[in-house]
Structures are given as C-alpha cells and as structure tokens.
Copies of this chain bind each other. A is one copy, B any other.
C-alpha cells in the first residue's frame, strides 16, 4: 500500500472506498455507520442539542492528545455545555495530499477511543482530499447531537447577582501545552493539554440542574473571553479573585517566560459554570471527588460593581478589567 494520501483517495471512486472501508470504518464498529449511506437514521427523543466544530490544530500530535481526540472532545463538550447528553457524532476529514497514512490511522484510532470513552457513536462521515499546498495536513470537522437534560435550563438571562463562578480545574493548560511544543520549550518537563470529554460532569449537572444558570467550555479566547460573553451588554459584573484561580505551576512558569496570560489561553477539558450561591460549595466538593475535577474551584462571583465587565481583584484588593481577547495569541490552537 502507498504510504501517503494521493489525490485519487478523494475521487469518490475505488481509492476513496479503500480509505473509508479499510482505514476509517473498521475503527467505528456500529451498524448505523456500516450502512455507508450518505446520511444516518437515528432514534432520538425529545429536544436535541446540535453543535459543530472544525479542528485545524498544529501540530496534530501534542502532549495529552492529538487532533483526533481533540475533535471528539471539542464537540462532545459543546453538546454537554448546551445542556445535553451527547449521543452521535459526524466526522468529516479534509486531508492534504501527501499526508501520512500511518498518522491518519493513529488519528482515526484516537477518534475511536475517545468517542468510545465519551459514549458517542460516529454515525456519518465524509472524506475530502485537497492538493498539496492547500491544506494543513489534516482538518477535521465533527458535528454532534445530544439529548436535552430535562429540567436544565441554561441561559444568560438566569444569571443573578450573588451567583458563583466555578471552574472545573486548572486554567489554560491546552493553549500553553501546544505553544510550548511548537516553540520547543520545556523539553524535559512537558505540559499536557487538558483535552478531555467532560462526560463525568453529567451526573453533577443532573444533580444540581435547577441551580446551574449557564455553562461554557473556555476554549479559544480562554476563561476571560468566555466570561465576558456571559455578561456583556448586561448590568451584571463578574468579579474573579486572583488568589482563587487554579493554575498549574508549570503553566504559570511557561506563561511568565512567554509573556502570556493563562486567563486568555485555551482549555479543552474544562467547564465554567455560573451557579446559585446556595449550592456552590457543595457542587465544588462533589466535583473534587472526581479525579479529573480535583482542582475545581469557586473563582469569583456575580455582582454589579462594574456593569457589563469581567474584573479581577488581586490580593491587595485592586481590580483590573479583563476585556475579551482582541488579537491572536496563537493560531491553529484547536
């Protein structure tokens, strides 16, 4: 077999069949996909959540994951953040001519493992090959469908004064990990991306569903940008306490060297939750009892100090406004 992808793998003919039937399909052993029609027929009940994301990250392999794992995590997490239990994914690959078939196999294997862990089925797909110089090795789009969790109503409008801001773990790991690899920093002491499906968050969400106002995974733009989206154009202010922010010491050190701010660095396995004050501490305790959320913390609260803004208070009591990210700190991070 040839060792790289040639244009004829994208022709829709025999080579495409080989690529799909021999390399991709065997990894995803489910009846719906095996039908190989242009669309999948699914049974769903009630309201559904629907989300899409393209992944253009470079390098394809990074500490803690690869573009395949990331492409499942990103969409699974978006479906969860919209208040749904993820069920089905589509998988669309745009492969650049010359891409290694061995690397493709590794990526597809990673997609299979991650989707199995997350309890989602890949049910429909598409593969395109583009000519050399017109791609990024491999770009992946996944779209996801989930079933709405009854009784959970997420909306910015439900955020109130007094609510607490919770993060499910350390801040900024993914963005710093990818940058460190690209820049060949910290060779002996790798920072792992936090890339993970937030599937273990579902029981907690279910338990506290009446008290959760909104959830979002702080990916591109980081925690600061995501929190701004919650309260911009409202009378509310989100006030973070710098001392409460959980940041890994290696991430902090790398940020110091690079002049980055972890609050603007992407995460790929964390959630921000705005919850009613009355359950905040109990919810965090429940989170901490789960290994992947052991660094969960209340990091701030909603008040009306600076309407429409996110501010951070340091240990001296001084506050600064955290604006949305404006310029690009890192291209192709997800």
Chain A interface (Cβ < 8 Å from any Cβ of B): 7-8, 10-17, 36-44, 47-56, 78-79, 81-84, 88, 90-94, 123-126, 128-131, 133-136, 139, 141, 143-146, 148, 154, 216-217, 219-222, 225, 229, 266, 324-329, 331-332, 334
Contact = CB atoms under 8 A, between A and B. Distances in A.
Contact of A135 (B82, B134, B143, B266): B134
B52 A126 contact: yes
Contacts of A56: 94, 128, 130, 134
A280 to B, nearest CB: 22
Contact of A54 (B53, B78, B128): B128
26 contacts: A7-B331, A11-B329, A12-B220, A12-B266, A13-B220, A13-B325, A36-B229, A37-B81, A39-B82, A39-B84, A39-B146, A40-B49, A41-B47, A42-B47, A43-B47, A44-B47, A44-B48, A50-B90, A52-B92, A54-B92, A54-B126, A92-B143, A130-B332, A131-B332, A134-B136, A141-B143
A308 B136 CA distance: 39
A260 B122 CA distance: 36
A143 B220 contact: no
Contact of A220 (B16, B123, B133, B334): B16
Nearest 6 pairs between A and B by C-beta?
A12-B220, A13-B325, A39-B82, A12-B221, A39-B51, A143-B143
A53 B90 CA distance: 9
Contacts of A79: 39
Given A92-B141, A139-B139, A148-B41, A126 B82 contact: no
Nearest to A127: B54
A126 to B, nearest CB: 5
Given A37-B81, A134-B135, A91 B326 contact: no
Given A15-B326, A38-B82, A41-B84, 14 more contacts: A11-B221, A13-B328, A16-B221, A39-B51, A41-B48, A41-B50, A56-B94, A56-B128, A92-B143, A126-B141, A128-B334, A131-B332, A134-B135, A145-B145
